[in-house]
Amino acid sequence: MKPLQASSGDLNADRRADYAEMLHASGDHAQAAELLLGALELTPLWAVGWFRLGEFQEAAGALEAAAQAWAMSLTLDPTDRQGAALKLQLIGKTPLADAPPSAFVETLFDHYAATFDQSLVEKLGYCVPERLGSAIRMAGPDRFRLVLDLGCGTGLMGQQLRPIAERIEGYDISSAMLKKARVKGVYDVLAKADLRNFSYSGEKADLITIADVFIYVGALDGVVGTVAAMLGASGLFAFSVEKLTDEETMAGGGFALQPSRRYAHSERYVRRLLDGNGFSLVSLETTAIRQDRNKPVEGLVVVARLTP
């Protein structure tokens, strides 16, 4: 996949865009949008610019104009590396989708990989690997023959698993994330894969982990079914989700797209999916999984066992 085109390719347009960013940062969103629109007159095929224009217009309260800008971004880049479709869903212009565009997720993490560990762990207090690691140890056994870490990222979960696993395989959609994970040397196999259409022909696993990945999936029915098919008898499934309150699920299907463009899932939805796919719940902990804008994000840390 081509890298995200941050530059318009036109020096004058880029200068206007940079100044627009300064105005936006200072709180003058309407003026920033007007200036960026002028830059787009010079480079009308710049998908990233149209997406950013939509964000400026949204901040200025001009949602109709924002919707038009995001629609233009989506037209110019149908793979939607910017996530314009998610923005349109959040303002009610299109129906809620079951999942974000794969290209958006891949692009997001390719660009985030270099500073991922430092930003997430040191600045945002990310603790899902430690929480899941503790829950897995309590569930037992002491060692696992084969562990599959789906959405392994830079290998933070793998570091927790290595002392209790004979073999660990990691899979992720982001090549840049896999490169960072490879440096840590905790996986026996690393490969690129999209979790939503994951195909695995290896031997049955004793443990499958999906740490802080479902926030970029949405509907979990297919993934949970795939996990059940990949586990051996009495195998463990350990994962996390951002927690959606019952009040928020009244009009939804157990998950919802948040303003952060991440999905949250209700406990009721998680329990129903596990039960429907042959899992028995071993443990479920409600805990703060990270900080977001200096506020704790509440999540569920779950371990389930495949019923023989």
| Local confidence band at 174 (pLDDT 50, 70, 90 cut-offs) | very high
Gap between the Cα atoms of 264 and 214, Å rounded:
8
Question: Are 144 and 246 contained in the same domain?
Answer: yes
Is the separation of the CB atoms in 136 and 206 below 8 Å?
A: no
R_g (Cα) of the chain, nearest Å: 21
Beta-ladder partners of 209 = 149, 238
pLDDT value, residue 59: 95
Question: Are 27 and 166 contained in the same domain?
Answer: no
Note whether residue 63 is domain-resident. Answer: yes
**What is the DSSP code (8-state) at residue 31?**
H
Note whether residue 6 is domain-resident. Answer: no
Instruction: Write the CA distances from 288 to 56, 150, 220, 297, integer angstroms.
Output: 31, 22, 21, 5
Question: Are 214 and 66 contained in the same domain?
Answer: no
Question: How many Cβ atoms sit within 10 Å of the Cβ of residue 274?
Answer: 24
Gap between the Cα atoms of 88 and 51, Å rounded:
11
Region 216-226: mean pLDDT is 93
> Is 60 exceeded by the pLDDT of residue 217?
yes
Final residue of a structural domain among 95, 127, 147:
95
Instruction: Write the CA distances from 252 to 96, 242, 249, 279, integer angstroms.
Output: 9, 15, 5, 24
Region 169-182: mean pLDDT is 95
Q: Give the mean pLDDT of the chain.
A: 90
Question: Are 48 and 130 contained in the same domain?
Answer: no
pLDDT value, residue 250: 47
Region 220-242: mean pLDDT is 95
**How many distinct structural domains can be found in the chain?**
2
- CATH of residue 15: 1.25.40.10
DSSP 121-133: IIIT---HHHHHH
Per the structure, the complete domain to which residue 180 belongs is given by: 113-306
Question: Are 175 and 259 contained in the same domain?
Answer: yes
Q: Is 20 left (phi over 0), alpha (psi -120 to 50) or beta?
A: alpha
Structure tokens at 297: 């994000």
pLDDT value, residue 122: 67
| Local confidence band at 5 (pLDDT 50, 70, 90 cut-offs) | low
pLDDT value, residue 247: 56
Question: Are 71 and 130 contained in the same domain?
Answer: no
| Local confidence band at 30 (pLDDT 50, 70, 90 cut-offs) | very high
Note whether residue 197 is domain-resident. Answer: yes
Q: For the purposes of burial, counting CB atoms within 10 Å of the CB of 301, is it exposed (0-12), middle (13-18) or buried (19 or more)?
A: buried
For helices 11-25 and 29-42, angle between their N-to-C axes, nearest 10 degrees: 170
- Residue showing tokens 């479902």: 214
In 3D, which of 35, 32, 101 has the Cα closest to residue 73?
101
Gap between the Cα atoms of 55 and 164, Å rounded:
45
- CATH of residue 212: 3.40.50.150
Is the separation of the CB atoms in 239 and 302 below 8 Å?
A: yes
Give me the torsion for CA of 101, 106, 112, 113, rounded to 10°: 160
Beta-ladder partners of 280 = 305
Question: Are 70 and 218 contained in the same domain?
Answer: no
Note whether residue 187 is domain-resident. Answer: yes
Question: Are 68 and 181 contained in the same domain?
Answer: no
> Is 80 exceeded by the pLDDT of residue 124?
no
**Comparing 26-40, 103-117, 174-188, 204-218, which segment has the lowest mean pLDDT?**
103-117
Q: For the purposes of burial, counting CB atoms within 10 Å of the CB of 51, is it exposed (0-12), middle (13-18) or buried (19 or more)?
A: buried
Give the pLDDT confidence of 54-87 residue by residue, as tens digits. 999 999 999 999 999 999 999 999 999 999 999 9
pLDDT value, residue 126: 82
Whole-structure pTM value: 0.89
Question: Are 124 and 267 contained in the same domain?
Answer: yes
pLDDT-above-70 percentage for the chain: 95
Structure tokens at 300: 């569920």
Question: Are 131 and 265 contained in the same domain?
Answer: yes
Higher pLDDT, 125 or 32: 32
Note whether residue 2 is domain-resident. Answer: no
First and final CA of the chain: distance in angstroms? Answer: 41
Note whether residue 108 is domain-resident. Answer: no
Note whether residue 101 is domain-resident. Answer: no
Question: Are 275 and 183 contained in the same domain?
Answer: yes
Q: For the purposes of burial, counting CB atoms within 10 Å of the CB of 233, is it exposed (0-12), middle (13-18) or buried (19 or more)?
A: exposed
**What is the DSSP code (8-state) at residue 134?**
H
Question: Are 190 and 262 contained in the same domain?
Answer: yes
> Is 90 exceeded by the pLDDT of residue 121?
no
| Local confidence band at 1 (pLDDT 50, 70, 90 cut-offs) | very low
